Structure 1
Amino acid sequence: MRNLLMATVFGLAMVTAAQAEPVRMSVGSYNLNNLPFPVAESLGFYKEEGLDVTIENFAQGGSKVLQALVAGSTDVAVGFYDHTIQMQSQGKHVIGFVQLARNSGLVLAGKNDTDFDPAKPETIKGKSVGITAPGSSSDFFIRYYLKQHGLTDNDISIIGVGSGAAAVAALQQGKIDLLVNYDPAATIVVERGLGKILIDARSDEGAKAVYGGIYPTSVLYANQDFIDKHPEVIQKVTNATLKALHWMKAHSAEEIVARLPDDFVSGDKKTYIKAVDNAKAIFSEDGKFVPADLETPLAVLKSFNDSVAKATIDLNTTYTNKFVEASKQTVQN
């Protein structure tokens, strides 16, 4: 009887695994803007939805994920909303379907003895500035800052340094003078006494000061063709991700970090927990896109991206809320 029971359980597991729908998901880096994604994976929410997820982490930044999506080597990207605008200007239809981070999460940090003073923008001239990767939102951040203050990218050197520990090391080792990055790097720089935050766009107030408004960042996006052909997969990914957002809201930073895989945690755990606590305010509570907020990244891109400036961008076709609204996990306000 015991052998029969075990065989039955094993058979059911095999059937379940066989029925799981495969989906390839790629993430640009393990910065904290993307945190709901590894939370959903580590808590088994994608499996619960009947998905067999293959994950690829491009530590170089979100622009590499975008390239993979356009090339067809991944199905769903965990990346930044502004990439959907870029793609529309190039005639490609990339659609955001869940918002993870409703605000920038970016900071500009420098060593404690830096002579760069944000109140005197010209003091940035001659500096080497580390970003996650060319074409990333950290790249957009510094280019927009320069544009707003009558400067150009010829006034500085922009260097891709990745995120997390690699970004912190680049500042610590003097490979760069300033760093534009996310948590956990932002918190690690301060907690270790390596430097200070000079411009902070993690709060709503900081984002409005830098960009003129709320700047949505991390989202789940996919090609329109994939969404049209596999709406059931997109719905399941949405359901799982919303479970993660709700779970994060109900749990402390310490509880969140305890459930993460070891390779996601940068630096010592105590500092990382503090970084998660600092970042919690940027996450969406319901996964929905707010149309008015999407005007901010469009304005930023138009300021220095010629292809976006020349194109007629219809923001309504860069995102959809229908999968979030259809999900049983949607927060009822």
Structure 2
Amino acid sequence: MRNFALAVTVAAALAGSLTGAAHAQSVRISVGSYNLNNLPFPVAEGLGLYKEQGLDVTTENFASGGSKVLQALVAGSTDIAVGFYDHTIQMQSQRKDVVGIVQLARNSGLVLAGGPNSTFDPAKPETIKGAKIGITAPGSSSDFFVRYYLDRHGLSQDSVSLIGVGSGAAAVAALEQGKIDLLVNYDPAATFIEAKGVGKILIDARDDAGAKEVYGGIYPTSVLYATASYIKENPETIQKVVDATVKALEWMRDHSAEEIVAQLPEAFISGDRETYIKAVENARPIFSADGRFSETDVKTPLEVLRSFNDKVAATKIDLSKTYTNSFVDKAPRTASN
């Protein structure tokens, strides 16, 4: 009788798990690159938080910058994008409604590094003329960084050559091999450059002071965003994705860089593990504590884009339509919050 009861219990549990799997909500999430601004997303995956919400997530890594992910989202080949907030502003200028649903990185995290033969001196902005500058991809925020720098200093957009080199180890290699003179990129590339002696950081926007110096304010970057129509049609799925992501942000806040790296798939880790752990520690200040968008901070990307993007400059942008805190505000919180 005891064995029969045990068999019934096991069968019931198995049936329950199969029923849960059958009812798992499928969602396609694409990520533009494995730079550290996007780190909370793979952490959430590694911790099994999306699965915990009953989601069956299909992930695609474009590894060539957020602009490709944005194209996929608008084309309908992905449901949610892990990309940069400024893309939502760009899309509104093109009369397309793309909305940020949770913020991952509250600050830029970008650096401009020079190779051993670079003659650029930030104290003399005109010395950037003629430089071959590596960016993650055309239309990316690293692209915007350079264009805004040129505009602020009255320099022509044609005074430099912009070359897409991706992120991480590939970007560092481009600088090391002399294919580019300067590199605008994120961690882990920023930490690798210094650790390997490949070059030196000339402009650092990883902390708040650096961001304010470069942009005039805090520059929110990595977010999860989706089209307004997808959000309207799938509010339950969006809430589950946000709940899992907020939980990942809280978990990252309370755990060491080494513990965070332990949750990542090997494909996400660039270079040697110890240097990568150091890169995660260096990047800590950029991550959002709660996933919320700041009404003040979102104005900074708009001002940056207006300086060189004619379509954005000519459009009356309603920032309230580029993000929502409604899902984040409903997300369960840990006791420490």
Q: Specify if TM > 0.5.
A: yes
Q: CA deviation at 1:115?
A: 1.4
The answer on whether the counterparts of 1:95 and 1:319 sit within 8 Å (CA) in structure 2 is yes
Query: 1:298–1:330: structure 2 CA closer, same or farther, 3 Å change rule?
Result: farther
What are the equivalent positions in structure 2 for 1:116-265 lying under 5 Å apart?
A: 116-265=120-269
Q: Residue 321 of structure 1 corresponds to which residue in structure 2?
A: 325
Give the corresponding residue for 2:105.
101
Structure 2 residue matching 1:291: 3-state secondary structure: coil
Given residue 97 of structure 1, which amino acid in structure 2 is its aligned partner? I
* 1:111 partner amino acid: G
The 1-side partners of 2:314 and 2:275 are apart by: 44
1:258 Cα deviation from its structure 2 partner: 1.1
Contact in 2 for aligned 1:207/1:215 (Cα 8 Å): yes
Aligned ranges for residues 72-83 of structure 1 at < 5 Å?
Answer: 72-83=76-87
Q: Tell me how far apart the structure 2 counterparts of residues 157 and 330 of structure 1 sit (CA, whole Å).
A: 47
Letter in 1 for 2:326: K
1:84 aligns with 2:88: yes
User: Is the Cα contact below 8 Å between 1:106 and 1:201 reproduced in 2?
Assistant: yes
- Contact kept, 8 Å, 1:28 with 1:62, in 2: the verdict is yes
| 8 A contact 1:140–1:301 mirrored in 2 | yes
| Residue 46 (structure 1) aligned to one of 50, 64, 67 | 50
- Contact 1:286/1:331, CA 8 A, preserved across alignment: no
Contact 2:117 2:181 in 1 (8 A): no
Could you tell me whether the CA contact under 8 Å between 2:242 and 2:331 is conserved in 1? yes
Q: Deviations 1:42-92 (Å, cap 9, x if unpaired)? A: 000001111000000010100000000000000010000000000000000
Secondary structure in 1 aligned to 2:27? strand
- 8 A Cα contact 1:286 1:330, kept in partner: no
* Residue among 295, 298, 301 paired with 1:291: 295
Contact in 1 for aligned 2:43/2:248 (Cα 8 Å): yes
The amino acid of 1:36's aligned partner reads: P
Q: Is the 8 A contact 2:102 2:291 kept in 1?
A: yes
1:94 partner letter: V
Counterpart of 2:13 in structure 1 is 9
* Cα offset, 1:152, TM superposition: 1.7
Q: Residue 8 of structure 1: CA displacement?
A: 3.6
Shift of 1:113: 4.1
Size of the aligned set, in residue pairs, is 333
* Shift, 1:5, TM fit: 5.0
After superposition, what is the alpha-carbon deviation per residue over 1:187-240, rounded to whole angstroms, capped at 9, x for unaligned? 001001111000000010000000000000000100000000000000000000
Shift of 1:3: 5.6
- Pair 1:3–1:332, CA change in 2 (3 A): closer
Shift of residue 14, structure 1, vs aligned partner: 1.4
Paired with 1:83 and 1:275, the residues of 2 have a C-alpha distance of: 26
Kept in 1: contact 2:115–2:178 (CA 8 A): no
**Residue identity (%):** 69
Give me the TM-score of the superposition, normalised by structure 2: 0.96
Please say if residues 112 and 195 of structure 1, whose CA atoms lie closer than 8 Å, have aligned partners that are also in contact.
yes
1:331 to 1:23, Cα distance in 2 relative to 1, 3 A: farther
Counterpart in 2 of 1:29?
A: 33
Give the distance between the partners of 2:181 and 2:296, measured in 1 at CA.
35
**What is the match of residue 18 of structure 1?**
22
Render the CA deviation track for 1:81-139: whole Å, top value 9, x for unaligned. Answer: 00000000000000001011000000000113421100001111111000000000000
Distance 1:189 1:119 in 2: 21
Q: Secondary structure, in 3 states, of the residue corresponding to 2:297?
A: helix
Residues 250 and 334 in structure 2, CA contact (< 8 A), matched pair in contact too: no
Cα distance, 1:19 vs structure 2: 1.0
- Aligned partners of 1:202, 1:94: CA distance in 2, in Å? 26
Structure 1 length as normaliser, TM-score? 0.98
Distance across 2 between alignment mates of 1:286 and 1:5 = 40
1:288-325 Cα distance to aligned partner (Å, 9 max, x none)? 00011111000000000000000000001111000011
Q: Which moved more, 1:92-101 or 1:5-14?
A: 5-14
Say whether residues 1:311 and 2:312 are aligned partners.
no
Q: Which of 70, 74, 77 is 2:74 aligned to?
A: 70
**CA distance in 1 between partners of 2:18 and 2:171 (Å):** 43
Distance 1:85 1:332, change over 3 A: farther
